[in-house]
Structure 1
Amino acid sequence: MSKIAVIAGAGPAGLTAAYELLKRSGGCVRPVVYEQSEEIGGISRTVNHNGNRIDIGGHRFFSKNEQIMQWWRDITPMQGHPAKDDRMLGKERALTPEGPDPDTEDRVMLTRDRVSRIFYLRKFFDYPISLKWRTFANMGLGRTIKAGFGYIAASLHKRKEDSLENFYINRFGKPLYSMFFEDYTEKVWGLHPSKLGADWGSQRVKGLSLSGIIKEVVTRPFRSDRSKVETSLIEEFIYPKYGPGQLWEYVAGDIDRLAGGNAVVTGHRVTAVNIGPDRKVVSVEVTDASGNVSTTPCDCFISSMPLAELLPALRGIDVPEDVMHTAVTLPYRDFITVGLLLDKLQIVNETKLRTYAGRVPDTWIYIQERDVRIGRLQVFNNWSPYMVKDYENTVWIGLEYFCSEGDELWEMTDDDFIAMATRELEHIGIIKAEGVKDAVRIKVKKAYPAYYGSYYRLDKVRRFLDTIPNLYCIGRNGQHRYNNMDHSMLTAMEAVGNIVSGTDSKENIWKVNTEDNYHESK
């Protein structure tokens, strides 16, 4: 008789765990996935608004781990024919023989250009900062000289890396930090970088520095192994035709098919995790949208739910007061996206890249201007031409704001927020308000685990949870770690490996995205 694994959350981590259990357990473990929302993909979902699609937060499909890259390609095969925009521009890309045609088939992965820039001083700068003449021209002579001396000073006198501010200054110098990191970081986290831990920098931009950029420029012509490239420096990535949510919807369908039934259940929230006398999870209670409660017996429980919700849900076990307090006070940042549909943008393509109708080539634009609260701007036309209902005649963009549940931004009405966001983008010269044809606002809770406050007591929570032998914490919120999608998937794969092999230690699961080999090797 098959064992039952209950999985909380149908995001990348939870769905990867379910899929891998079905593939690797030889039918010995049957997963049941409970997702509290009605959507598949978690923060990696795709929202369809009137035929125009939004990628929540933006998700480039790129990993230094070839197992992850192949996993994505196995789920959604690489294109064998040009995408719509490449075909219109006559742009050539490497194509997969007998691969699907994105113009006629939906289950297809595209190869896309990674173009992200910084918008600062009403000008564009490469992201990461490059050593091109335009960078220095945009900065001006005074700022350039100041930045150069600042970097030399930082190289000679390293600061103790006890804050995110010092982490950045050590790698870029104080002037460049002040120009390109300080204000944006405060927008994202709501705190000055001097009050944030360096942990976030080591996980998100490990290895990225001005010296790293110089090394990249010098060694690029001689390098054949692209897996050694820092994630922030890649030039191409792969992407599902209709965004990340499309891939995860396919995964959910494959899980149901492999399990021989409805194994992914939406609209059901895990509200209680019952622990038996041997400190093992014996069952999980879920509550549906109507308030009906049901119980599922299980042999193991894999959780990608926030630790702030998991600990209060534990039943039949005494949770130490300090552990509970740490868990329920873990900090998060929430997220708001505004989708705007326009005839055109007021900014135009001044790069050497060919684009349709002279549009900017960026997927992401980091807004560093101090006089607006918007943090990032996505141009969905450039993620995939199929994300936009009328690609030729409209531009579909996403304005990204970082906030905290209950604050001024979160509590604004949809109409007021959309009006404010539109004014901001017009104020910095990117759009004309009268050109807006359609708009939508989307709110996401607990989008980003934050690195301050009780985060520094997280080890207490981890040590306690590790005493429950058949409970596995995976994913971004499951570990309270700002993982990329591939790292969240790796935590799931490690957990499944432990379950299948009977390994008791959870050390390998928690180490994903903390050890060098997860960052820098295949």
Structure 2
Amino acid sequence: MKKAVIIGAGPAGVTAAYELLKKSDGYEVLILEESQEIGGISRTVRYNGNRMDIGGHRFFSKDDRVTAWWDEIMPLQGSPSYDDKVLGRTIPLAEGGPDPEKEDRVMLTRNRVSRIYYQKKFFDYPVKMNARTIRNMGFATTMVAGFSYLKAAVAKKPEDSLENFYINCFGKKLYSMFFEGYTEKLWGRHPSEIDASWGAQRTKGLSIMGILKDNFQKLLPQKQDKHQVQTSLIEEFNYPKYGPGQLWETAAAEVEKMGGEIRKGCRVTKLHTADGRVQSLSYVQDGEEHTIEGDVFISSMPVKDLVAGMNDVPEAMGRIAAGLPYRDFVTVGLLVDKLNLKNETKLKTLNNIVPDCWIYVQDVGVKLGRIQVFNNWSPYLVSDPDHKVWIGLEYFCSEGDKYWNMSEEEWVKFGISELVKMGVITSEKDVLDSHRERVKKAYPAYFDTYDQIDELIRYLDTFENLYCVGRNGQHRYNNMDHSMATSFEAVDNILSGRTDKKNIWSVNTEKEYHEEKKEA
């Protein structure tokens, strides 16, 4: 038996373990997880009967391997008595009737609604040129935005920054209203300082023309192919009944059933290399250091930390890795009776709250980046969804700064004050309960030494039995399905003997590779 050591029990790590055990009986699989939780940033936090989705995770992908995998772990089904009140329909039974052991292991179908809250008005996201947008913006501003877009369409700027990328897609006026301030909140840098590749990766094909094309296609009678719909324009997605962590906890349990081992509270500190291979690694658990050998090492830990723990790293590679930047994440959960936001849409919701999964906060007068309405992700995230609203206030900061170091009490007071300022709630008396979560290295950033990352990738690829997967493992702001796809490719390489790792690093970088990929 060969031994595969996997660093991290997030989506990439759990997927790699599951695939390796399922496709081969020749590997002993061990996952080392630093925290006590499964799922990484895709975990579900439980607090006082309510659940929080850290960052929000839509289960939608153009990669058919990913959707098949999700369905294998947690099929779209439900018990006879389950009624999805939000959508007003009953989820059909699986063939053969309900399975008591799997009754709660179900995916729900959710409405995808995410709007922009700007100057106390709601705008569609992506922005649509409809009557409501014109009314909210005003005729004069709409005309300026229209001519600004036309100018950008005929006089393209060199896409040498995220700022120019967005201006080329939307025009300078819409960029200044809906992208500039929010992007600076997210990254702590002006878009002119950020590499354009982030925008190209996260908003593939999203532009005014892309939005108009999508709107036209929706007028046609035939059913749309999911491969042809821009990810940012989807109208429905699937979601585990009890949040994303439920799927990863379920998948981790399947890994253990197949003979895999998961050790929690294990912080990997060193990788011992020689002769172009990783020979072993060291980790700390309960204050004691342990060393374990392996034949294959799959890493989803931050590249920055991975390289820092390797021996005999060339100075230039160490410098690049040490300079890779991140943004850290804080979410403040607040339980309230109601929001001062009216549901003026035609969508049915519990308690008649707004139907948004996320509300993007573009106003630069507050630090708040997004508001999650957990009721709309799944009513099962909320202990009393008929009478209470459970929301998450999402903030972006840097580990060690004044915001990161604020106490939970300070964070709750700060979040409440911003909601009052925005008119979302009336006063702190509206808040019935609260909870804060902090996440380190939530968002790999695209500045500082990132422009030299290709050199670092070439160096890491010289270690034939080391495979870097996932968001932090590749320092890419990937979605959950992209992280899974990197693990699919890594396992395929391991089992086929392929030594070239280009396919692993190419996930979500080449448009034709992933976003437009179809099964033959």
Q: TM-score, normalised on structure 1?
A: 0.96
Q: 28, 31, 49: which one pairs with 1:30?
A: 28
Question: C-alpha displacement at 1:61, in angstroms?
Answer: 0.3
Q: CA deviation at 1:431?
A: 1.3
Larger mean CA deviation between 219-228 and 45-54 belongs to 219-228
Report the residue type matching 1:296 in the other structure. Answer: I
Matches within 5 A, 1:328-339: 328-339=322-333
The answer to whether structure 1 residue 459 and structure 2 residue 458 are counterparts is no
The aligned counterpart of 1:5 is: 4
For structure 1, which segment, 93-102 or 338-347, has the greater mean C-alpha deviation from structure 2 after superposition? Answer: 93-102
Tell me what 1:300 maps to: 296
Pair 1:423-2:417 in alignment: yes
- 1:286 equivalent to 2:280? Answer no
Measure the CA separation in 1 of the matches of 2:98 and 2:330: 34
Residues 351 and 387 in structure 2, CA contact (< 8 A), matched pair in contact too: no
Q: Distance in 2 between matches of 1:69 and 1:100?
A: 22
**2: distance between equivalents of 1:494 and 1:453?**
29
Q: 1:84 to 1:366 in 2, by over 3 A?
A: farther
User: What letter corresponds to residue 434 of structure 1 in structure 2?
Assistant: K
CA contact (8 A) 1:418 1:441 kept: yes
| C-alpha distance in structure 2 between counterparts of 1:241 and 1:291, whole Å | 37
- Aligned AA (2:440): K
Alignment of 1:66-85 (within 5 A): 66-80=64-78
Instruction: Quote the Cα distance in structure 1 between the aligned partners of 2:83 and 2:361.
Output: 26
Mapped partners of 1:469, 1:342: distance in 2: 53
Superposition CA RMSD, Å? 1.7
In terms of mean alpha carbon deviation, does 126-135 or 38-47 score higher? 126-135
Q: Within 5 Å, give how 1:367-386 maps onto structure 2.
A: 367-386=361-380
Distance 2:395 2:149 in 1: 30
Aligned to 1:19: 18
Identity of aligned residues (%): 57
* 1:297 partner amino acid: E
Q: Secondary structure at the match of 1:158?
A: coil
Question: Aligned-pair distance for 1:84?
Answer: 5.9
Q: How many angstroms does 1:521 deviate by? A: 2.4
CA distance in 2, matches of 1:73, 1:402: 33
Q: Please point out which of 101, 107, 110 is paired with 1:109.
A: 107
How far residue 147 of structure 1 moved from its aligned partner, in angstroms, is 0.3
Q: Aligned match of 1:498 in 493, 509, 520?
A: 493
Q: Deviations over 1:144-163 (max 9, x none)?
A: 01000000000010000000
Partner of residue 437, structure 1: 432
- Secondary structure of the 1:442 match is strand
Using the TM superposition, give the Cα deviation of residue 226 of structure 1 relative to its aligned residue in structure 2, in angstroms: 2.2
Bigger shift: 200-209 or 408-417?
Answer: 408-417
Q: Counterpart of 2:167 in structure 1: which amino acid?
A: I
Partners of 2:11 and 2:98 in 1: CA distance: 24
Report the CA distance shift for 1:284/1:417 in structure 2 as closer, same or farther (over 3 A): same
The answer on 1:399 being equivalent to 2:393 is yes
Q: 1:88 to 1:468 in 2, by over 3 A?
A: closer
Task: Give the structure 1 partner of residue 404 of structure 2.
Answer: 410
1:470 maps to what in 2? 465
1:195 aligns with 2:193: yes
Describe the shift of the 1:351–1:182 C-alpha distance in structure 2 as closer, same or farther (beyond 3 A): same
Alpha-carbon distance in structure 1 between the residues aligned to 2:93 and 2:124: 28
Which residue identity is paired with 1:246? Answer: Q
Equivalents in 1 of 2:391, 2:17: separation in Å? 33
Q: 2:309 aligns with which of 310, 313, 332?
A: 313
Aligned equivalent of 1:348: 342
Q: Secondary structure at the match of 1:119?
A: strand
Q: Residues 350 and 385 of structure 2 are in contact (CA less than 8 Å); yes or no, is this contact kept in structure 1?
A: no
One-letter amino acid of the structure 2 residue matched with residue 504 of structure 1: T
* SS of residue in 2 equivalent to 1:61: coil
Distance change in 2, residues 1:209/1:92 (3 Å): farther
State whether structure 2 residue 172 is matched by structure 1 residue 178: no
Aligned pair in 2 of structure 1 residues 51, 200: CA closer, same or farther (>3 Å)?
A: same
Alignment partners' CA distance in 2, 1:389 and 1:501: 48
The count of aligned residue pairs is 514
Aligned equivalents of 2:97, 2:52: Cα separation in 1: 26
In the other structure, the counterpart of 1:358 is 352
Alignment partner, residue 237 of structure 2: 237
Deviations 1:10-45 (A, max 9, x none): 0000110000000112x1112100000001100000
Indicate conservation of the 8 Å contact 1:77/1:99, yes or no: no
CA gap 1:487/1:82 in 2 versus in 1, 3 angstroms: farther
**What is the match of residue 226 of structure 1?**
226
Note the C-alpha offset of 1:88.
7.1
- The alignment status of 1:479 with 2:474, answered yes or no, reads yes
- Cα distance between partner residues in 1 of 2:91 and 2:31: 38
AA aligned opposite 1:281: V
In the aligned structure 1, how far is the partner of 2:109 from the partner of 2:157? 40
| Among candidates 138, 142, 145, match of residue 144 of structure 1 | 142
1:441-466: per-residue Cα shift (whole Å, max 9, x none)?
Answer: 11000000000010011112111111
Distance 1:358 1:373 in 2: 27
Distance 1:196 1:83, change over 3 A: farther
Structure 1 segments, 4+ long, off by >4 Å, are 81-85, 92-104
Quick check: 100-109 or 221-230, which moved more? 100-109
Q: In the alignment, is the contact (CA less than 8 A) between 1:118 and 1:366 conserved in 2?
A: yes
Q: What is the aligned partner in structure 2 of residue 157 from structure 1?
A: 155
Q: Which amino acid aligns with 1:15?
A: V
Checking the alignment, whether the CA contact within 8 Å between 1:82 and 1:102 is kept in structure 2 is no
Q: Decide whether the 8 Å contact of 1:21 with 1:30 is kept in 2.
A: no
Assess if the C-alpha contact under 8 Å between 1:345 and 1:430 holds in 2: yes
User: Kindly tell me: are residues 149 and 84 of structure 1, through their superposed partners in 2, closer, same or farther at Cα, counting changes over 3 Å?
Assistant: farther
Indicate if the aligned counterparts of 1:54 and 1:339 stay in contact, CA closer than 8 A: yes
Counterpart-to-counterpart distance in 1, 2:37 and 2:258? 20
Give the corresponding residue for 2:252.
252
**The residue matched to 1:520 in structure 2 has which SS?**
coil
Are the counterparts in 1 of residues 17 and 31 from structure 2 also a CA contact under 8 Å? yes
Cα distance, 1:86 vs structure 2: 2.8
Shift of 1:221: 3.1
* Cross-structure match for 1:41: 39
SS of 1:54's equivalent? strand
Distance 2:295 2:423 in 1: 57
Worse-superposed segment, 104-113 or 8-17: 104-113
Structure 2 contact 78–104 (Cα < 8 Å) conserved: no
